[in-house]
Structure formats: C-alpha cells, structure tokens
Chain A
Amino acid sequence: MNRKISQQIAFTLFRIFGLLVVVILFSILGFIVVNGIQVINWEFLTTAPKDGMTTGGIFPAIVGTFYLIVGSLLIAFPLGVMSAVYTNEYAGRGWIVKIIRMMTNNLAGIPSIVFGLFGMALFVNKLGFGDSILAGSLTLSVLVLPLIIRTTEEALKAVPDSFRTGSLALGATKLQTIRKVVLPTALPNIITGLILSVGRISGETAPILFTVAAYFLPHLPTSLYDQVMALPYHLYALATSGTDIEASRPMAYGTALVLIGIVLIMNLIASFIRRRLERKWKRN
C-alpha cells in the first residue's frame, strides 16, 4: 500500500510541475499582453519615439528589425541551405561530415554575446563597416546559420530515398535530382526553418548591441552603412536606461508585446505548416 501512496505523491507532484510550466508561460504572456495592449494603437506602430521616449511610437525600431531580418536571411538562408545540401546529399558518411556536424552544433551552443564580440571585431572594426545594418546583419546571419542548417538537414532527410533513386534512374544528374526533386519536396519544411529563424533574429539583443543598434534615431536608415533602432534593444533601453523610466514603462510594455507578437506568430505559423505536412505525409 505504501508504494501506491508514494506513486500517488510523485505523480501528483509531476502533474503540478506540468501545470506550473503552463502557468509560467501564460503569466509571462498575460502580463505582457494585458499591459501592452493598452498602449498599442496605430500611432504607436507608425510614429517615432517622442519626449525622451515617453510618448510616440516605435516605428523606427520596427523598420530596423525588419531590415535586420531581411539582411541576415539574405546571407544566412542560401548559405545554410547549400551547406545542408552538401552534408546531406554529397558528403556521404565519412569523418568530414562528422566534423562539420560537430562544428555546426558547437556554433549553435556559443552564447549570443560572443557573436556580438566577434561581429564587432571582424565586421565593425576589421572590415570597417562601422556600426551598420551590414555589420549587424552579418553578425545575426552567423548566429542563425546553425538553426537554418539543422532544420534544412532535417527537411532533406525527410525526403524518401525512392524519390532520389527514381529521378536518377530516369537519367537525371545528381544536381538535377536535387534541384527538381529533392529541394521542392523538402521546401515546406525548409520554409519552417526560415520562419523560425525570423523569430530568433527579431528577438536577439546581445549580437546587435555593438554592431548596429542605436539608442535613438528619429529618421529611418537610408543606406546599408546606417545604424538602426531595433525592437529588442529598444525594449532593453526603455527598461533600463530611459530618461524617465517610470514614464517610459508603457512604451516598454508596448514594445515587448510587439516583439513577443512577432516571435509567437512566427512560431505558430511554423508549427502550423509542420502539422499540415505531417498529416499530408500520413495520408500518403
């Protein structure tokens, strides 16, 4: 009877833990949403900060984050997909692939602030881009590369081998097979990775601190060599170093909500696509 009781206690505890995780998520989300929703309106989304960031909006930060997303994906996406195609389709199973995989895993484990240091040393100083969209995008693209490589590799692995052998048997070359059969089949899954990367890039602060982010810029960037404001850094600035922290709190809530909104929507779209695909594969 004793062991039944201890089982009861343990299982109840685990259920509570599970519930606790849900509660934590929803209290964070709820806190941000409830406080942020009061601030968000059309003006907040389309004007620049005013009066020492206590009123106005976050338009320059939204635009800046958008530029950074586009910039870093333009670099990281082709590179990441190509890298994954190489390891999955060309490289076989030798030690080279093992090293490449290990390096990709290691890169994924490096803290984001180290990417910031690296970006500052290489792109900002050595290559002389200065604090700029270019330097920031390059830094973020390095950061997001492992994620793209990993998701693309998984997507490629999910393509059945019979597709490849069938195409090759019809006389297509390896490249044709990859281009016309493998990649199109894997595309939706690859897109999932892309969307997840958007979420990741838009939330990262540490890598852009010293490579692109500006505390306050009233105008929008005009070239690749301009600094921009970015949502995560703007939130950090509002929360810790505004001229009047109490007065800029509502702005901070609004920024946090927009930021979380982008990340959550990206995650939801990605998992929606994934689920639809899973169902499709099951049907076939």
Chain B
Amino acid sequence: MIKNKFFKRLIEKGVEAMLTLSGAVTSIIILFMCIFLFVEGFGLFKSSTVEEGYSIYVNSENPVSELSPQELKQIFDSEVTNWKEFGGKDQAIRVYRFDEIFKTYPEEEMGEDFSILPIVLGDVVRENEGIVAFLPTDFAPEANNGIKMIPADQISFSDFFLGEEWLPTATPSPLFGLMPLLLGTLLVSLLAISIALPLGLGVAIYLSELADERTRRFMKPVIELLAGIPSVVYGFFGLVVLAPIIQKTFNLPVGETALTGGVILAIMALPTIISIAEDAMRNTPREMREASLALGATKWQTIYKVIIPYSKSGISAAVVLGIGRAIGETMAVLMVTGNGAMIPGSVFDSVRTIPATIAAELGEAPFSGPHYQSLFLLGCVLFVITMVISVASEVISKKQNYKH
C-alpha cells in the first residue's frame, strides 16, 4: 500500500517535470531560432567580398591598389571604363575574364593539369597595363614582377546594412546591400497600413458602436474567414485579378507593383486591425459614453472625442500588429510585387521585400556560401523587427489594461 502510494507520487512528480519542460518549449524554440539564424547569418561578415576561390589581379604599373565591391561591379558591368575614375592613370580598363585565355591558347597546350596556365595568365597581366583580371586562385600567377593582386576585404557591416544594391549573384564580387529590400518592405507595409487603418478603424467603429447584434453575428465569421484564407490564395487573387486592374487603371506596363502588394497586404492586415481595435473600443466604460451623451454630445462626437481617445493604445497596438503582419508576409507579396530588387522611386515601381527575397533565392543559393548566409542575415533582420513589434504591441496594450 505504502509502496503504491510512493509510486503514484513518483509518477505525479515525473509528469509535473515533463509538463514544466513542455511549458518552456516556446522559449527553447526561440532560443534555437536565434542561435541558428544568427550563427549562419553573421557568417556573411567572415566571407570575402570577392567570389570564393577567385582573386583580382592588375598590372603593377597601375597605381590603383584597392577596389571596393561597388567599384568592381562598375568595372565588370562596363559602367566605368577608365582607370582615372578610381584615381589611376588616364587609361582604358581592359576587363579580363578567366575563360578568355582559351580563345588565345587552346586547352591542349596547357600541359598536364593545366600546369602552364598560371604562367600564361601571368604573361597576359604583365603585358597589359590597363588590365583587371578575374582569375581562379588555383591557377593564379604569383603576385610579383609586374603583377599585383587586389586584396579582398571581408564584407563589412556597412556593406550589408547601408549597401544600396542587392546583386547576390554578381561576379566577381556580389553585392549584399540591405537598403533596397528594406525600403521595399517598408514601402509596401506603409502602403498597406495607410489603406487598412482607416478602413479597419471604420469597420471597428461600425461593429462596436453602430451594428446590431445580428449584423455583428454575421460580420464576425466574415472577418475570421478573411483572416483564414491562405496567403498563397491572396497572392493568386492579386496576380490574376488585382494586378491587371491596377495595370489598366494607371496605364502601366506591368501590374505587379508596390501598390498591388500594398492593397493585397491591406486586405490581409484588415482582420487583425478590426478585431483588436474593436476589442479596445468595446472596453470603453459605459459611464464614459453615457456621461458624454448626457452632456448633449452626438453619438459621433462621443465616438471621436471619448471612445477613440480612450482606446488609443488598443488602436496603436492594432496598427503595430498590422504592420508586423505586413512586414512578415511572404507568398502574397512574392507573387504580386514584381520582385525588382531596386530602391523604389514610386508606388508604381516593382519592389522586392525581405521575406520575398528569402523565398525566391534560398532555393538557388549554394549551401553555406555568402549568398546563403546573406539570406539568413535577412532572416535575422526580420526576426529582430518582428520581435521589436511583438514587444512594442505588448507594452502598448498593457497601457490599455492599466486604465481599468
């Protein structure tokens, strides 16, 4: 009997321990997420600005001894064709890519294991004063008498966070600039919220102050369903219906624009805004409404002079969470914004958001390469933004609760 009781106790304690452990499960997951995202993402700052396994060489007569990733890109895209723009001599830049060697020397002449290749390449660099050569490190000539290697830096924080170009697959030196993606994300989200806020607030006022019980009972599931529709379906709808409409209305070459994304995201953020704002308004104490009405105010005056100021923090929380939903949304935006990774100039430009970039590029990025790591770093940025938003909305809605 005593033994039995002891056993029961033991089981009870065991179960309690298990429950405690599972209570911590979300915290553990968040911790793991932090670790994995940040370890992988911050690996980017250890990788070199020049593509792995390659180096850049110039003739040693050339006074230029350092080239930034942006400058390299300008050279290889033929945007800059003279060395004097980078402080060198007034001389044309001759871009030399590795495979050009096979045009002048057939492969058979390279000897066993291409052993002659470095020597031939060395000659090429030595003979051309204006050359900039992009060569694989394995076959590279030695950097002396007439040949100079341009040292590759590590990708810096400012390259990523302040970079204005996102060209992750550019050779020889990919550019991982956050700015176009961040601005694209913010533009689409702000568009969404500036459409969804007045609309959502209006519906919230309607539901909490004007609608009768029957309308409310009809509207609640409508809003729930709107929240339940999968984002890929919104994306599909945006692509097939909304994009052509926007294209026709504003007479644009394509309908996939920041505005299209903003409208779709506005619809998706509506349920969040409506339900939180409505809750906040319903929490306004009855006495306050009645006092206002008793003073002779109309219902509308009561709403905008008493109820809205009173539920200010609830409404702010709704806005913050709505923005959060919009910033993190992936599939719908991926399908309707056109995905041009450039800093947007107007709402009719094609934009690419941070989540859409991850979704579009992760499948093609080589495992653990700089591109892969940069996408994880984008994940970190999203993670931090949404964490800040969660905490902010919690702090704001706490304010609301203190009032009671």
Which of A25, A106, A173, A233 has a CB less than 8 Å from the CB of B222? A25
Q: Are B331 and A236 in contact (CB under 8 A)?
A: yes
Chain B interface mostly helix, strand, loop or mixed? helix
Q: Assuming the A-B contacts A31-B241, A236-B331, A271-B221, are A205 and B230 also in contact, with contact meaning beta carbons closer than 8 angstroms in the complex? A: yes
Q: Are A90 and B298 in contact (CB under 8 A)?
A: no
Scoring B residues 1 to 26 as 1 if CB is less than 8 Å from chain A, else 0, what string do you get? 00000001001100110111011111
Within the complex, the shortest CB–CB distance from A123 to chain B, in Å, comes to 10
Q: Are A236 and B232 in contact (CB under 8 A)?
A: yes
Once the chains are docked, how many angstroms separate the CA of A24 from the CA of B234?
A: 11
Q: Assuming the A-B contacts A105-B390, A175-B15, are A86 and B23 also in contact, with contact meaning beta carbons closer than 8 angstroms in the complex? A: yes
Binds A, one of B71-79, B147-155, B202-210: B202-210
Within the complex, the shortest CB–CB distance from B234 to chain A, in Å, comes to 8
Q: Are B390 and A11 in contact (CB under 8 A)?
A: no
Chain A residues touching B, range: 35 or more
Once the chains are docked, how many angstroms separate the CA of A170 from the CA of B315?
A: 47
Q: Are A11 and B359 in contact (CB under 8 A)?
A: no
Once the chains are docked, how many angstroms separate the CA of A206 from the CA of B235?
A: 12
Q: Are A205 and B232 in contact (CB under 8 A)?
A: yes
Chain B residues with CB under 8 A of A206: 231, 330-331, 355, 359
**Is B318's beta carbon under 8 Å from chain A?**
no
Chain A interface mostly helix, strand, loop or mixed? helix
Query: Max chain B CB contacts within 10 Å: which of A6, A105, A120, A210?
Result: A120
Q: Assuming the A-B contacts A17-B203, A107-B26, are A260 and B363 also in contact, with contact meaning beta carbons closer than 8 angstroms in the complex? A: no
Which of B233, B328, B394 has a CB less than 8 Å from the CB of A102? B394
Binds B, one of A48-56, A108-116, A154-162: A108-116
**Is B251's beta carbon under 8 Å from chain A?**
no
Q: Are A118 and B239 in contact (CB under 8 A)?
A: no
Q: Assuming the A-B contacts A24-B226, A106-B391, are A239 and B239 also in contact, with contact meaning beta carbons closer than 8 angstroms in the complex? A: yes
**Is A142's beta carbon under 8 Å from chain B?**
yes
**Is B387's beta carbon under 8 Å from chain A?**
yes
Q: A13-B202, A112-B231 are in contact. List 11 more A-B contacts (CB 8 A).
A: A3-B300, A21-B226, A90-B16, A100-B24, A106-B387, A109-B324, A111-B330, A145-B25, A260-B230, A263-B228, A267-B228
10 smallest beta-carbon distances between A and B, as pairs: A111-B328, A203-B230, A86-B23, A7-B300, A17-B202, A82-B22, A86-B19, A14-B206, A109-B390, A206-B330
Q: List 13 A-B contacts (CB under 8 A).
A: A25-B225, A91-B23, A106-B30, A109-B324, A109-B386, A110-B387, A111-B327, A114-B379, A117-B36, A117-B379, A210-B362, A252-B236, A267-B224
